[in-house]
Chains A and B, each alone.
Chain A
Amino acid sequence: MNSFRGFVIKEFKQIYRDTRTLVVLFGMPVLMLLIFGFAIRNEVNNAKVGVLDLAKDEVSSVIIQKVSSSKAFQIDAYLTSYDEVESIFRKGDIKEIIVFEKDFTRNLTRKGNASIQIITDATDPNLANIVQTYTKAIIGDYVQELNANIKPDVGIKTRTKMMYNEELASVNLFVPGLIAVILMLVSALMTSISITKEKEMGNMEILLVSPLKPSHIIIGKVLPYLVLSIVNVFTILILSKFIFGVPFVGSYLLFFAESILFIVTALSLGVFISSVANNQQTAMMVSLVVLLLPTILLSGFIFPVESMPFPLQVISNIIPAKWFLVIVRGIMLKGSGILIIWKETAILIGITLVFMTLSLKNFKVRLQ
């Protein structure tokens, strides 16, 4: 037991003396949270639009005025003919061109129907869709203003209630995902590299001939990262609560239990990778490709799993972060208890057990 203690102390010292990595380790969650909280939004800000006003009359200028006073848009170009559209789009800054037909006001007052063309640069389909919807909403509001005195009170209204995230803040969605990514990074990636490092440098031999048991070596390697991960979870939680006001509806106790479960999952993944890889470069590339990218892209962190094609939805089931995300979003935003998320928890435990056994089996006590 004494030798084990000594080993653990050595590991802690080795990590905490490496200031550069420590700065990144603690700076990373903070910076990522700030980026997600402040810089990554789903609404549009100051998108540049062009106007082709063939009418140049009363109503068209009122609408242009409304568009330019909206926070989402910034009118950047006034075109004089259709031929300019192509060259303007090619330059790439302007995302949308609003075209008013000739005699716009006259058509509106006499025929009761005027038309506006919205040409978007749809190389980014998502953005094209958003700016289009925004523009239509502005025009729609204006039309309602015009018809304010006429009230057609027939038909069905939909009353929508946005549950769990009323103001549709994207930071609420990202925080749980961010926790998963950081934990994967710290627990799985760092562990796998630190164990393969011993192999590459030849220190593994020394450790293996020492009185330490293999399980002690692994636990000693893993402990410091467990501590680091827990500190990171706290940091993210505190920042998201006090800077971004992300709600936390459920139980903190359950949240920490689940976080520790996920950390153990990630650690066992890291140990497994290090038992397969022979040098740090391989370990790093494997954890990057097999763990981190799927955690970011296939877990539902940024892109909803429901939108993926069927084969990828199937694959996403073996990604631990997917289940952890469901759990954390449930606890933080919906206040779910263990009765609601027991299935996901069980799956996570299963994945952890599988990788623990695999890595114990693969861990070689002898050199070839």
Chain B
Amino acid sequence: MRIIQFLLQKEFLQIFRNKAMLPIIFVIPVVQLLVLSFAATYELKEADFALVDRDQSIASRELVSKLQATGYFTLQSEFTSGDEALIHLEKGEVAFVVQIPKNFQQSLSSKTATSIQLVIDAVDGSLANLINSYVNSIVQDFSVEKSAVIDLTGPQNIPLPIIKKISTQAINWYNPNLDYITYMVPGILVVLVSMIGLFLSGMNIVREREIGTIEQLNVTPITKFQFMIGKLVPFWVIGMFDLLLGLTLARFGFQIPFLGSLTTILIIAGIYLVLIQALGLFISTITETQQQAMFIAWFIMVVFILMGGLFTPIESMPLWAQKVTLGNPVAYFIKIMRMVLLKGAGWKEVYGMVLIISSMATGLLAVSVNRYKKTTG
């Protein structure tokens, strides 16, 4: 026990004496949480557009001001020819071009069909889709409004046959305003904790090996087991501390509702961190230099994060990829965090996933402790 105590003391001293690491461990997670939470959004906030108005009528003006009134779209410039507008689209100065044809007002009042043209820069497909559907719904509203006015004032009001309608009513549970930050913060917390845990523990043992101090440790009576504990506990503590810091920020800074129990989250996080560190240990047993270790850790992390349902929902992956995510610990913990924090799920709902994480942790830990040899060469 005393040996472990001294080992821990040594590790902590080593961490806290490294001036460059302290901000990395304590300040950067906070900054990242703040920046990422605001940056990671697909919501359409603002898009500039160019206008080619060949009609120059009251109706066309009205439609343009309707587009701007939503607050999503800003008229950036107006052109007389479509080609000029397209150049601005190519330069990326505007996101889309609206072209209103001649006789727009006339055909509106004479109740003949007319059409406006929308050219969208579709390099970002999902953004283009959003713009398309927003503009469409504005134009449809405008169209209905116009034809209603005409119907009331028009002299010969022909009764239309009954049009069957199905009205849909959408209700959004747990997040009625579709607020993206509420959704992203728990997931980003998982990523931060995983990165700190994986990188620090992954590089630590390799560092001893690279500098050569591992041989000094190897010739001491410290057992394999004690050595591992000495390496794991400090980063586990740091990881938990970062998580608590992040949770505090999420609760009081971002006003994320904590519907579930905090104890549940902390217990699961404890298990999860062991798993992540076991992965780090495993990496450090198969590598020789810090550069290698870091590179492999980063590689694994990127794949885990991209396939973890953080940025793009797992539901949008093809089936085979959805099956692959069953082996991804980051995906499990992100799901658990969201379920517990945002929906108030308890043990009953998450115990299956906790079981998977625990068995992954035990298995991986066993493998990496086993692979670590006190002998060199």
Contacts and interface: CB of A to CB of B under 8 A. Distances in A.
A95 interface: yes
A288 B199 contact: yes
Contacts of B132: 160, 162
Nearest to B27: A289
A340 B89 CA distance: 11
A235 B314 CA distance: 27
A147 B161 CA distance: 10
Nearest to A343: B91
A164 B122 contact: yes
A41 B312 CA distance: 7
Contacts of A25: 295
Contacts of A31: 303
A334 B123 contact: yes
A156 B166 contact: no
B166 A35 contact: no
Contact of A120 (B171, B289, B298): B171
A150 B139 contact: no
B39 A163 contact: no
Interface stretch (A4-12, A264-272, A299-307): A299-307
Interface stretch (B28-36, B49-57, B236-244, B361-369): B28-36
Chain B contact patch, size range: 35 or more
B90 interface: yes
Contacts of A113: 164-167
Interface string A162-203: 111110111011000000000001000110011001001100
A196 to B, nearest CB: 10
B37 to A, nearest CB: 10
Interface string B317-354: 11101101000000000010011001111000100000
Contacts of B116: 156-159
B361 to A, nearest CB: 22
A282 B24 contact: yes
A348 interface: no
Contacts of A121: 173-174, 343
A58 interface: no
Interface string A4-46: 0000000000000010110011011001100110111111111
A284 B115 contact: no
B296 A170 contact: no
A21 B295 contact: yes
B41 A308 contact: yes
B376 interface: no
B136 A158 contact: yes
A135 B168 contact: yes
B159 interface: no
A300 to B, nearest CB: 8
A311 B242 CA distance: 25
B124 interface: yes
Contacts of A21: 291-292, 295
Contacts of A345: none
Contacts of B44: 306-307
B160 interface: yes
Interface of B: 18, 20-21, 24, 28, 32, 35-36, 38-47, 86, 89-92, 95, 108, 111-129, 132-133, 135-136, 139-140, 142-144, 146-147, 160-176, 178-180, 182-183, 195, 199, 203, 207, 210-211, 286-292, 294-296, 298-299, 302-303, 306-307, 311-313, 315-319, 321-322, 324, 335, 338-339, 342-345, 349
